[in-house]
């Protein structure tokens, strides 16, 4: 899968003809300093942002499941309802409950605004991994998770990936207990 991406904000190039060329089915870690364009690249790849580069883009024919950099959960609903809503009724209740257990979350019916940051992050991860996009995008999915929770999250990702291509952004200092096939740097 290959695409070349260009994006300017306020006349400044965040990405200027950056080519992402990866094998289908790989886990790819994207690295750059803060503000280096990681989220912008993910948004361009998934079509959430318009690509200014006119070259061909293989990613355009794919569907995407996201963990956004922000949780983007509905506060007034339970975690369970958030995930049911986002997966459009295609994932049964038992599968979602099982996912909560796998990640050490004990109360799927708790309102999101009563949950901790780390709980919300894990719910955002469940929502992405149980969704049926053929490319999975995880933008800093481990924020707020300690090393034990992070290890569970990595195991959960491996269990629910089913061979799909995965693009991962995580802090550079994070040592991840997950096999990464390729690391891509956005530095020039």
Ligand X SMILES: Nc1ncnc2c1ncn2[C@@H]1O[C@H](COP(=O)(O)OP(=O)(O)OP(=O)(O)O)[C@@H](O)[C@H]1O
Residues within the interface to ligand X (CB under 6 A):
9, 14, 32, 34-40, 69
Q: Which stretch binds Mg ion (CB under 5 A): 22-30, 35-43, 102-110, 124-132?
A: 35-43
Minimal distance, residue 14 CB to ligand X, in Å: 4
As beta bridge partners, residue 77 has none
Using CB distances below 5 to 8 A depending on partner kind, what does residue 9 bind out of ligand X, Mg ion, none?
Answer: ligand X
Burial class (CB in 10 A: 0-12, 13-18, 19+), 173: exposed
What sections of the chain are H helices per DSSP? 38-45, 79-86, 93-102, 117-130, 147-161
Q: Can you tell me whether residue 58 is helix, strand or coil?
A: helix
Q: Which is nearer to ligand X, 152 or 186 (CB)?
A: 186
Q: Which is nearer to ligand X, 14 or 80 (CB)?
A: 14
Q: Are 6 and 16 in contact (CB under 8 A)?
A: yes
* Residue 39 makes contact with Mg ion by CB under 5 A: yes
* Residue 46 makes contact with Mg ion by CB under 5 A: no
Cα angle 174, 39, 175 (rounded to 5 degrees) comes to: 10
* DSSP of 20-35: EE--TT-EEEEE--TT
Minimal distance, residue 102 CB to ligand X, in Å: 27
Using CB distances below 5 to 8 A depending on partner kind, what does residue 54 bind out of ligand X, Mg ion, none?
Answer: none
Residue ranges that bind Mg ion, judged by CB under 5 A = 38-39, 69
């Amino acid at each position: 899968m290959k695409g070349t991406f260009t994006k300017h904000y306020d006349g400044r190039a965040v990405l200027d003809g950056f080519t992402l060329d990866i094998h289908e089915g790989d886990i790819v870690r994207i690295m750059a300093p803060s503000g280096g364009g990681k989220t912008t690249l993910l948004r361009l790849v998934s079509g959430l942002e318009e690509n200014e580069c006119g070259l061909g883009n293989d990613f355009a024919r794919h569907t995407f499941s996201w963990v956004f950099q922000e949780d983007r959960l509905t506060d007034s609903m339970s975690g369970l309802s958030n995930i049911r809503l986002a997966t459009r009724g295609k994932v049964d209740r038992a599968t979602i409950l099982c996912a909560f257990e796998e990640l050490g979350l004990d109360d799927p019916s708790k309102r999101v605004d009563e949950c901790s940051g780390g709980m919300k992050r894990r719910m955002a991860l469940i929502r992405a991994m149980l969704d049926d996009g053929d490319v999975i995008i995880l933008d800093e999915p481990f924020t707020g998770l300690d090393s034990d929770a992070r290890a569970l999250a990595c195991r959960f990702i491996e269990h629910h990936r089913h061979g799909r291509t995965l693009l991962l952004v995580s802090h550079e200092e994070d040592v991840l207990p997950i096999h990464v096939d390729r690391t891509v740097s956005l530095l020039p």
